[in-house]
Structure 1
């Protein structure tokens, strides 16, 4: 009789355990995450980081490519193309058409190397393509620059928060091209090219638990990629003084998120894993990469 009871108890426990595991799995699978613009922040501008005192040839060529591609709308076309390509390679569907966009460059010049420091988890600006190579908007810009200068482009995938350091310590023929926001802190160590893109910071959170502003993140666990503008902003906002910036009318604006706990990760993919596991409440990051991240993870 005792053996029978023991067997029945084991069977019941096995069923309960199985049900619990399935429920947990279903809950994780069915959770949807949404993107909301951080309404208390301004748009931020992206530039290519250059060593202070970089060769005029490099500075002028980078700015010439940016200015030309802005004027002929190529930067918008490249952004749309690489956004669609990233989506296609990760989620399937219809392959995007390049149209008249240039996608092949001579990157084996004889005038020396041009090194591009980047971090490949920031689509559509840089991501690892189906062929295993880093591609994206920033790669297209620097490929065109390298070809015009007759240099060999060497792409180095590094931790994001070390990019400006590597550029500042380089021989001058190195750049940081990684969707880098132009800000005063970074200007202390590097110079920047002309602006080639603008971005809105957004907040990713679970559907039904949504945050419309950085101020809404007070007391929350917020994931960021270390060294990004999202990291700088929420770190300041969580401190007593808050994060202060100047608006379009020249007025000083201070944003506070008292008690926010900033969780820093080497990549946004790691931050997203923590979000889906419930260990953080939200992620603060740029809009296009956020959209790419959700498409990749949720389909």
Structure 2
């Protein structure tokens, strides 16, 4: 989280205001919708905790690229979304104070890596072996997968059918990595954009035959744009599950404070409550409790 970024355009950006899943980049054109790098911070005061870390009076600063609805997005000057609600529940469970701010994807990752201004990033960041070389990750808190978005009359049934087609992705995401392997490095049929919002616009305007992106983003876009007559295509062979985690600088002590809280939030029913709020269905947390 793998892994963000006229009335019609505002509807598009609000519906998928995206960052990703996997690795995402911010879209400068969406600065107003994303709140730039100066989006208002949500904060949480210390609360009674069942898995708290004692007398820690630090206010931890989190970064999130608010361009990936419904996971994280800007509503005027306030960050909202599944990740934001989940983080609030975790920090309350841990009994820790925090703030979360809207920060462009690349700047977010770099700042978290340095560990100076921001102590962590939560932004639909997929846990990958490559990223583990640079960051520590929390226990996984969300299972995702990439899916294909096409027009309802499309005959595309799998990722293999995308060869020879124009495919739009957000550059630097797991969708980009997967489709590069399938279509081929340097293939101009793979159209890479700064955000999923622009990739989706490319499909809408006929410049692409398909978009590949995280399932939550695709489903949210279909739900909010019924007039566009779109459908998702699942491909469990080429697109395997991936897991989002909170990213920390290497050797961060915050991981040890939050992993027990994440486990508690998943097990005590709060996670399911948040999940149902944003996705209107019960979560399957089996792999979250099994995966580390």
Q: Taking structure 2 as the reference length, what is the TM-score of the superposition?
A: 0.53
Cα offset for 1:216?
A: 1.3
Aligned partner of 1:297 in structure 2 is: 225
Contact 2:166/2:191 (8 A) holds in 1: yes
Higher Cα Rg, which structure: 1
| Structure 1 unaligned blocks of 5 or more | 1-45, 48-104, 241-257
Q: Whole-Å Cα distance in 2 between the matches of residues 172 and 187 of structure 1?
A: 20
Asked whether 1:123 is paired with 2:50, we answer no
User: Taking structure 1 as reference, are residues 152 and 200 closer, same or farther at Cα in structure 2, changes over 3 Å only?
Assistant: closer
Cα offset for 1:108?
A: 4.7
Give me the CA root mean square deviation.
2.8
Q: Whole-Å Cα distance in 1 between the matches of residues 201 and 43 of structure 2?
A: 38
Q: Whole-Å Cα distance in 2 between the matches of residues 196 and 210 of structure 1?
A: 34
User: Taking structure 1 as reference, are residues 223 and 106 closer, same or farther at Cα in structure 2, changes over 3 Å only?
Assistant: closer
Aligned partner of residue 178 in structure 1, secondary structure? coil
Within a 5 Å distance, the mapping from 1:183-262 to structure 2 comes to 183-239=128-184, 259=187, 261-262=189-190
**Count of residues paired in the alignment:** 178
User: Taking structure 1 as reference, are residues 150 and 197 closer, same or farther at Cα in structure 2, changes over 3 Å only?
Assistant: closer
Aligned partner of 1:154 in structure 2 is: 100
Q: Whole-Å Cα distance in 2 between the matches of residues 172 and 191 of structure 1?
A: 17
1:181 to 126, 143, 160: 126
Q: Whole-Å Cα distance in 2 between the matches of residues 184 and 172 of structure 1?
A: 25
Aligned partner of 1:107 in structure 2 is: 44
Q: Whole-Å Cα distance in 2 between the matches of residues 142 and 158 of structure 1?
A: 18
Q: Taking structure 1 as the reference length, what is the TM-score of the superposition?
A: 0.52
Q: Whole-Å Cα distance in 2 between the matches of residues 121 and 216 of structure 1?
A: 29
Runs of 4+ aligned residues of structure 1 deviating over 6 Å after TM superposition are none
Cα offset for 1:206?
A: 1.5
Cα offset for 1:260?
A: 6.4
Q: Whole-Å Cα distance in 2 between the matches of residues 112 and 293 of structure 1?
A: 38
Cα deviation code 1:96-136 (max 9, x no counterpart)? xxxxxxxxx9625693432222222322221233x541111
Contact 1:275/1:282 (8 A) holds in 2: yes
Cα deviation code 1:158-184 (max 9, x no counterpart)? 13x554333111238522211121111
Aligned partner of 1:86 in structure 2 is: none
Q: Whole-Å Cα distance in 1 between the matches of residues 184 and 148 of structure 2?
A: 19
Q: Whole-Å Cα distance in 2 between the matches of residues 176 and 116 of structure 1?
A: 5
Cα deviation code 1:250-269 (max 9, x no counterpart)? xxxxxxxx956222222211
Contact 1:219/1:260 (8 A) holds in 2: no
Aligned partner of residue 278 in structure 1, secondary structure? coil
User: Taking structure 1 as reference, are residues 106 and 190 closer, same or farther at Cα in structure 2, changes over 3 Å only?
Assistant: closer
Q: Whole-Å Cα distance in 2 between the matches of residues 268 and 190 of structure 1?
A: 24
User: Taking structure 1 as reference, are residues 163 and 224 closer, same or farther at Cα in structure 2, changes over 3 Å only?
Assistant: farther
Cα deviation code 1:4-28 (max 9, x no counterpart)? xxxxxxxxxxxxxxxxxxxxxxxxx
Contact 2:111/2:117 (8 A) holds in 1: no
Cα deviation code 1:197-225 (max 9, x no counterpart)? 11121101122124222211112221112
Cα offset for 1:295?
A: 2.2
Q: Whole-Å Cα distance in 2 between the matches of residues 281 and 157 of structure 1?
A: 31
